[in-house]
Chains A and B, each alone.
Chain A
Amino acid sequence: GQNIDQPTEMTATEGAIVQINCTYQTSGFNGLFWYQQHAGEAPTFLSYNVLDGLEEKGRFSSFLSRSKGYSYLLLKELQMKDSASYLCAVRKSNYQLIWGAGTKLIIKP
């Protein structure tokens, strides 16, 4: 079966760092995506990992461990605009993505 787990909700303080975890069990793995989705808007692409290790992109970094079926998204220097849901998705085949339910991140001043 396919299973992607993320925490439902997290709260963090403006200026701080937060790590959002994603664990997966899928039959097939061809990479892992992180998307950001503001309320009432479409998901937008943040990062893609296919090899183990850390990918850094500005304030956002994403990590993957294929042997552990684990990824995290690290957000630094949090801003109020980072309040959104963060979706983890595993590419199972050439085109098929399996999506987690998303983690709602609440940033407090």
Chain B
Amino acid sequence: GAGVSQSPSNKVTEKGKDVELRCDPISGHTALYWYRQSLGQGLEFLIYFQGNSAPDKSGLPSDRFSAERTGGSVSTLTIQRTQQEDSAVYLCASSFHGTSGQETQYFGPGTRLLVL
């Protein structure tokens, strides 16, 4: 596609429910990243995919968070048993290789998650 797309753009859920966030990266980009951005905070790294593999899951805040990527393209971030502190904007980015060099990350518009 022309750019990184994410869905839904906004999600309101009740505490304890599961949510699934989707990211569709730029076609041909092998690297995919998930970040979380809370109000007034910097981007918090969650997970990185190279192809379908996730070499670095170190940023996932707890075992309630998981992510997968299939076909080297679409990725889903799942949050189980959501908590109010999970409320944030979840940003997805993709880049061409992610292995060396500049590899600018291109961001999607984000999913704004609100847990009531």
Contact = CB atoms under 8 A, between A and B. Distances in A.
A100 B42 contact: yes
B43 A87 contact: yes
A94 B102 contact: no
A87 B42 contact: yes
Contact of A96 (B40, B48, B50, B100): B48
Interface string A40-84: 011111001010000000000000000000000000000000000
B33 to A, nearest CB: 7
Contacts of A95: 31, 33, 48, 50, 56, 95, 98-99, 103
Interface stretch (B13-21, B69-77, B80-88, B107-115): B107-115
Contact of A42 (B45, B102, B104, B109): B109
A94 B95 CA distance: 12
Q: How large is the interface on B (under 10, 10 to 19, 20 to 34, 35 or more residues)?
A: 20 to 34
A99 interface: yes
A95 B56 CA distance: 10
A45 B102 CA distance: 11
A102 B37 CA distance: 11
A42 B35 CA distance: 11
Given A42-B110, A97-B43, A98-B45, 13 more contacts: A42-B107, A43-B43, A43-B91, A45-B104, A95-B33, A95-B48, A95-B98, A95-B103, A96-B56, A97-B45, A99-B42, A99-B43, A102-B42
Interface of B: 4, 31, 33, 35, 40-45, 48, 50, 56, 91, 95, 98-100, 102-110
24 contacts: A4-B42, A42-B4, A42-B108, A42-B109, A42-B110, A43-B107, A45-B104, A45-B105, A50-B102, A87-B43, A89-B43, A94-B98, A95-B56, A95-B99, A95-B103, A97-B43, A97-B105, A98-B45, A99-B42, A99-B44, A100-B42, A101-B40, A101-B41, A101-B42
